[in-house]
Amino acid sequence: MPLVYQQNINESTKMAVWHIAEEEDFFLAQVPLQKNISHRHKRLQHLAGRLLLKEMFPAFPVALIQVADTKKPYLEDEPFHFSISHCGDYAAAIVSTAYRVGVDIEMVNDKIGILQKKFLSDAEMKMLNAQCLMTNDPMTNNPMTNDPMTNDQCLTLCWSVKESVFKWWGKGSVDFKRGMVLQSVQGDHTEGKLHCLFKNETELVVHYLSFNNNFLTWVLTAH
C-alpha cells in the first residue's frame, strides 16, 4: 500500500500522501467515482484522494461528498473539514473534525518563473531573496552553504503555499498577489513554514515539507 506519508497534526487533524501505483479497480473496490472523468490518470488521482480520506478516518462518508460552485469539495453540516490535492503520481489530503484546513502538493517546476509576477509582488520577492533563495557569497562568488533553495524551488513553494490558502478559504475570488501576502519564511529547502497575511486581516502559518522534488504545503485554523 503506497501510503508514503502520514502525520497526525493534532488530536483532531490528520494529513497523508498517496503514491499512485495501482490500477483503477483497486480504488473502485473501496471508494466510488463520483463524477464523469474521461482522463484515466485524473480518475486515478480523484480516487486516490478519496481513498486517503477513508485511510485517515474510516468513518469518513466519501459517498456524500458534494462540490460547491467554487469547486471546493465539502460535506453537508461539515462533520469533517477536508482538502485534497493531486500532482503527477501523488495525491494528498488533510482532514479535521475541528479545524478549517487546506492542502496542496506541487512538483518543482522550471517554468514557474513565467507566472511569478502574477502571484508574487516585488516586496515578496525581496523578502524571499533575503530569506530563502540560493545566493552567492560576495567574497568568493560561491553558493552559500546554509541549505537555501533554488529559484524554481522557492517559486514553486510560494505557489503551493498560496494554493493551500486558497483551498483553506474555499470561497473563490481571491487575488493571489494582493489577497495573500507572504511575510516571512522559516526553514530551508526540506521543511519549514511561511507566514501569510490573508486579505489584510488574517495571519496564517502555512507549513511545508519537500520530498521527491515535490512540495507539500498545509494550513489549518480554528473553525
The reported pTM is: 0.92
CA distance 158 to 106: 10
pLDDT grade, residue 139 (50/70/90)? very low
Collapse the DSSP code of 168 into the 3-class scheme (helix H, G, I; strand E, B; otherwise coil) and give the result: helix
Residue 136 has pLDDT above 70, yes or no: no
For residue 38, the model assigns a pLDDT of: 86
- At 169, which helix (H) or strand (E)? helix 151-169
**Average pLDDT over all residues of the chain:** 91
pLDDT grade, residue 134 (50/70/90)? low
Task: Look at 94-98, 137-141, 185-189, 201-205 and tell me which has the smallest mean pLDDT.
Answer: 137-141
User: Pairing relation of β-strands 81-87 and 180-187?
Assistant: unpaired
Task: Look at 27-36, 40-49, 93-102, 210-219 and tell me which has the smallest mean pLDDT.
Answer: 27-36
For residue 71, the model assigns a pLDDT of: 86
Residue 147 has pLDDT above 70, yes or no: no
Reported as half-sphere exposure (CB side, CA atoms, 13 A), residue 74 has a value of 17
Greater confidence, 38 or 175?
A: 175
Residue-wise DSSP of 17-84: EEE--S-HHHHHTTS---S---SHHHHHHHHHHHHHHHHH-TT--GGG-EE-TTS-EE-TT-SSEEEE
For residue 99, the model assigns a pLDDT of: 97
Long-range contact set of residues 114-119: C-beta below 8 Å, sequence gap at least 24: 115/159, 116/155, 118/176, 118/177, 119/158, 119/159, 119/162, 119/176, 119/177
The whole-number average pLDDT for the span 142-150 is 62
